[in-house]
Chains A and B, each alone.
Chain A
Amino acid sequence: KAGVTQTPRYLIKTRGQQVTLSCSPISGHRSVSWYQQTPGQGLQFLFEYFSETQRNKGNFPGRFSGRQFSNSRSEMNVSTLELGDSALYLCASSYQNTGELFFGEGSRLTVL
């Protein structure tokens, strides 16, 4: 069974640009969560989607948005990039509400 796939793995952007990150969950998993990982802040919860609906959202500005498609694939978008957005963005899928998260390798974003 294929794991969680995130693309792209690495990307470099400049301030003010926008970026879209993609996540394909494990087949059969309907829940997708996104996290931002930085050395100073650790793992911060961004949002969680289930069956195309955002069920939970973390404390991030509106520049951070996401969506989920009917095939459970998910994208997150960050607009008007700031230097502080440089981070590893992790996607995780889950089969059920009480289940463990299965993480992708992450997308490392560098904002210059």
Chain B
Amino acid sequence: AQSVAQPEDQVNVAEGNPLTVKCTYSVSGNPYLFWYVQYPNRGLQFLLKYITGDNLVKGSYGFEAEFNKSQTSFHLKKPSALVSDSALYFCAVGSNTGGFKTIFGAGTRLFVKA
């Protein structure tokens, strides 16, 4: 079975400061890991993914994520936060066993203060 945990309900950061949104996962076999963002009253938008290769993945809007196999983590990072980054962020893990299934974490709300 696959699962993903986002330990923080909310992350607060000042504009211009670096941000980190945490995620840990559990899956049998090789993980397919994703980050999505959701703005109010909208569907989710894909940010980045890790399937294989370099542990540091770069994505949309200046976001990046670091895959750490030993810690089973996939934290989302950005060097300098913007007020417009304020949104709900979801970590997700995919499994390709018997058809693809993506499971989402509970989400972390990011507030960036000007």
Shortest Cβ distance from B43 into A: residue: A103
Number of A-B residue pairs, CB cutoff 8 Å, is 60
In the assembled complex, A55 has its CB within 8 A of some CB on chain B: yes
* Assembly CA distance A42 to B92 (angstroms): 12
Q: Min CB distance, B3 to chain A, in Å?
A: 12
A48 surroundings in chain B (CB, below 8 A): 99-101
Q: Min CB distance, A18 to chain B, in Å?
A: 24
Contact B43 A104 (CB under 8 A): yes
Contact B101 A102 (CB under 8 A): no
Contact A50 B43 (CB under 8 A): no
Contact A43 B98 (CB under 8 A): no
A103 surroundings in chain B (CB, below 8 A): 36, 43-45
A31 surroundings in chain B (CB, below 8 A): 100
In the assembled complex, A64 has its CB within 8 A of some CB on chain B: no
In the assembled complex, A70 has its CB within 8 A of some CB on chain B: no
Interface of A is mostly: strand
* Assembly CA distance A84 to B36 (angstroms): 26
Contact B99 A55 (CB under 8 A): yes
Beta-carbon contacts of A75-112 to B below 8 Å, as 1s and 0s?
00000000000000010101001101111111000000
Beta-carbon contacts of B76-97 to A below 8 Å, as 1s and 0s?
0000000000000010001010
A56 surroundings in chain B (CB, below 8 A): 98-101
Contact A50 B99 (CB under 8 A): yes
In the assembled complex, B102 has its CB within 8 A of some CB on chain A: yes
Q: Min CB distance, B10 to chain A, in Å?
A: 14
Q: Min CB distance, A11 to chain B, in Å?
A: 15
Cβ-defined partner of A105 (8 Å) among B42, B90, B99, B105: B42
Chain B interface residues (CB < 8 Å from chain A): 32, 34, 36, 41-46, 49, 51, 90, 94, 96, 98-107
Other A-B pairs beyond A43-B104, A98-B51, A101-B36, 7, CB < 8 Å: A43-B107, A56-B100, A56-B101, A90-B43, A92-B43, A97-B96, A97-B99
Q: 10 nearest interchain CB pairs?
A: A55-B99, A103-B43, A43-B104, A100-B46, A97-B100, A56-B101, A42-B106, A103-B44, A56-B99, A105-B43
Give 21 pairs: A residue, B residue, CB < 8 Å, sorted on A. A33-B101, A43-B90, A43-B104, A45-B101, A45-B102, A45-B104, A48-B100, A50-B100, A55-B98, A55-B99, A56-B101, A98-B32, A98-B96, A98-B100, A100-B34, A101-B34, A101-B44, A101-B102, A102-B46, A103-B36, A106-B43
